[in-house]
Amino acid sequence: MTKIMPSSIIINPSSTTLTASEIAIANELFSKLEKKHGRNRIRQRYYDQKQLLKDLRISLPPQLRNIQSVLGWPAKTVDVLADRIQFQGFQVTGKTPDNYGLDELVEANNFYDEFSQTITSALTHSVAFITISRGMEPNEPEILWLAKSALNATGIWNRRTRSLSSGLTVTGRSKEGVITHATLYLPDKTVDLEIGAGGKCKTDVQPNPTGRVLIEPLIYSADLSREFGRSRISRAVMTLTDSAIRTIVRSEVGAEFFASPQRYILGADENELKDKWDALVSKVLTITRDEDGDLPTIGQFQQLSMQPHTDQLRQWASLLAAETSIPLDELGFPSQNPSSDAAIQSQRDPLRLRADAAIRGFQSTLRRLANTTILLRDGELPGGDIQGWFKPTLNITDAAAADAVLKQVQVMPWLADSPIILEKLGYDASAIRSLLNEKRRNEGRNLLERIAANADRYDDDGNLITG
């Protein structure tokens, strides 16, 4: 059976209807998925807090080398940023109020939660993917959006079009982790692959009339050398987490000695102290007289301090905070003196800038997702510019927001009719839609009342009666 383990996946050409070039693309995608799979699994283990102590075998006693100590800092580096990126829906510039039915698709796909989970996955692995397909089951949406992590999806990036030229998702594995089913995404077709022993492959081909690959990548922190971005759980984050875990374990050992200070014995027979570790932690010692009848001298060392462990842990936390642009108090070391609101916002500015940069990258993904969806459903591209709508990353008080909006409306009165004002006031997407619908109902009701009040001023032909 074919497997993501060290050998590359090769599809047997004689067992499939795919062309030679399509087989080459599929094998390249399988190889790319295999190459990144190991590192992605490691990052997922750090996020899931399943990465245990990496002992340097220097200071820890053998009895504590298998201690299961974990730390949630890698998950914190992801979640603190993900919580600041809140998708609110789609906006279409200058077009119909129904936004080409995108609002209904967002609700039908539960896309607020789905996209939030996709963001978390993208920040963990540097990229996640969203597939586009027609709903097949009675209860499925007309267009189905499904998120895939980088553990089970990949693609080939086209720098000229700035989009994927092909993609692959793993849809089935055996208990041993063997890939049994996958889906290949091409501009003209989507192919379901059933993979068997010896590279034998059964295919189910579905035409793709859009000319676009029906899978979109959600990329975090891309650059010219890494088209699929960089993970928030970087090597530096993993290294600092390992160091912090060792510090925590050493502090556990130190805490035992802090509770039971070390003793020393002068003039004792070493044969009576067969296990020195037991002698260190034992509450009661049995020591006999020496051959001259004298008792050994027993003393106690000065009690150890836990402060060095706390200071070192704070050092790792400070380095991690600098590496990830998150405030130190998010890592368990709050400021001793209360800060003003302005100081707190200033402390979070680097994280806000990271969130704004991530949103700019996610906007292009959402734009392509919406355009491809409408093209697949309606057969033509929308006429308006589609944008993803996100909640502002800067948190300000209600009073400050109201004051800022008031000053802007006084200078530009036409802004009062814009939904952007409601967004700046902190209302979410559903609240804004409800408020705008209520506004339209009130305007319609007032118009009917004015018409009814002036009905007697017009004749049956609609002419104004002047006499």
Phi, psi of 47 (to 5 degrees): -65, -40
Sign of CA dihedral 340, 341, 342, 345: positive
pLDDT at 1: 42
**pLDDT tier at 341, thresholds 50, 70, 90:** low
Is residue 180 within a helix (H) or strand (E), and if so which, with residue range?
Answer: strand 179-185
CB atoms within 10 A of CB 319: 16
Residue 339: which of 353, 329, 352, 331 has the closest Cα?
329
pLDDT at 196: 83
Residue 446 corresponds to which amino acid?
N
pLDDT tier, 345 (very low <50, low <70, confident <90, very high otherwise) = low
In terms of DSSP H, where are the helices of 14-95?
A: 20-47, 73-82
Q: Which residue has the tokens 């759980």?
A: 233
pLDDT at position 2 is 42
What is the model's pLDDT at position 3?
A: 45
Domain boundaries, the chain: 13-219, 262-301
Q: What is the pLDDT of residue 5?
A: 41
- The yes-or-no verdict on residue 152 having pLDDT over 90 is yes
30 token code pair: 């399988």
Starting at the edge strand that comes first in sequence, how are the strands of the sheet with 153-158 ordered? 153-158, 163-173, 179-185, 189-195, 201-207
Considering only residues 467 and 367, tell me which one the structure prediction assigns the higher pLDDT. Answer: 367
Residue 338 has pLDDT above 60, yes or no: no
Using 50, 70 and 90 to split pLDDT, how confident is the model at 276?
Answer: low
Categorize the per-residue pLDDT at 434 as very low, low, confident or very high, splitting at 50, 70 and 90.
Answer: confident
Cα distance between residue 447 and residue 349, in whole Å: 47
Q: What is the C-alpha to C-alpha distance for residues 167 and 27, in angstroms, rounded to an integer?
A: 11
Structure tokens at 156: 């080939």
Instruction: Flag whether pLDDT at 364 surpasses 60.
Output: yes
pLDDT, tens only, 7-17 = 456 777 766 77
pLDDT at 444 over 90: no
| Count of alpha carbons within 13 angstroms of residue 267, beta-carbon side | 12
- The residue ranking higher by pLDDT, 42 or 439, is 42
Cα(168)–Cα(35) distance, integer angstroms = 14
CA-only gyration radius of the chain, Å: 32
The residue-averaged pLDDT of 350-364 equals 94
- Where does the pLDDT of residue 126 fall: very low under 50, low under 70, confident under 90, or very high at 90 and above? very high
Residue 156 Ramachandran class (φ > 0 left, ψ -120 to 50 alpha, else beta) = beta
Residues 228, 64: Cα–Cα separation, whole Å: 40
Least confident piece of the model among 187-201, 235-249, 268-282, 310-324:
268-282
pLDDT for 303: 64
74 vs 349, higher pLDDT:
74
Q: Are 210 and 375 in contact (CB under 8 A)?
A: yes
Average pLDDT over the chain reads 82
Residue 372: pLDDT band by 50, 70, 90 thresholds? very high
pLDDT category of residue 413 using cuts at 50, 70 and 90:
confident
- 200 phi and psi, to 5 degrees? -65, 135
Average pLDDT, stretch 292-301? 68
Q: What pLDDT was estimated at residue 197?
A: 80
* Chain centroid to CA 247: 28
User: Looking at residues 155-174, what average pLDDT do you find?
Assistant: 94
Per cent of the chain over pLDDT 90 is 45
Give the number of C-alpha atoms closer than 13 A to the C-alpha of residue 398, restricted to the C-beta side. 1
CA distances from residue 440 to 16, 101, 314, 415, 445 in whole angstroms, order as listed: 58, 19, 56, 17, 9
Which range scores top for mean pLDDT: 269-283, 326-340, 380-394? 380-394
φ, ψ dihedrals at 375, nearest 5°: -65, -40
Question: pLDDT, tens digit, for every residue of 178-205?
Answer: 888 999 999 999 999 998 887 788 889 9
Whether 353 shows a pLDDT value over 80: the answer reads yes
Residue (of 140, 137, 130) closest to 169 by Cα position: 130
pLDDT value at 267 more than 80 = no
Percent of the chain residues past pLDDT 70, beyond the cut: 75
Q: Which of 127, 149, 87 is nearest to 217 (CA)?
A: 127
| CA angle (415 as vertex; 413, 418 as ends), nearest 5 | 145
Which is more confident, 150 or 384?
150
Secondary structure element (H or E) that encloses residue 119, with its range: helix 111-125
Question: How large is the average pLDDT for residues 33-51?
Answer: 93
pLDDT at 315 over 70: yes
Identify the pLDDT of residue 332: 86
> Which has the higher per-residue pLDDT, 359 or 302?
359
Q: What is the pLDDT of residue 419?
A: 72
| The most confident of 305-309, 329-333, 408-412, by mean pLDDT | 329-333
* Number of neighbours of residue 438 by Cβ within 10 angstroms: 10
Q: Mind giving me the DSSP string for 188-203?
A: SEEEEEEE-GGG-EEE
Dihedral of alpha carbons 115, 117, 118, 120, sign = positive
Q: How far is CA 213 from CA 132, 147, 417, in A?
A: 9, 15, 39
- Residue 368's alpha-carbon distances to 148, 361, 372, 467, in angstroms, are 17, 12, 6, 62
Give the model confidence (pLDDT) of 215-265 as tens digits: 999 999 999 999 999 999 999 999 999 999 888 888 877 776 655 666 666
- Rounded Cα–Cα distance for residues 113 and 278 (Å): 54
Q: For residue 160, name the pLDDT band (cuts at 50, 70, 90).
A: very high
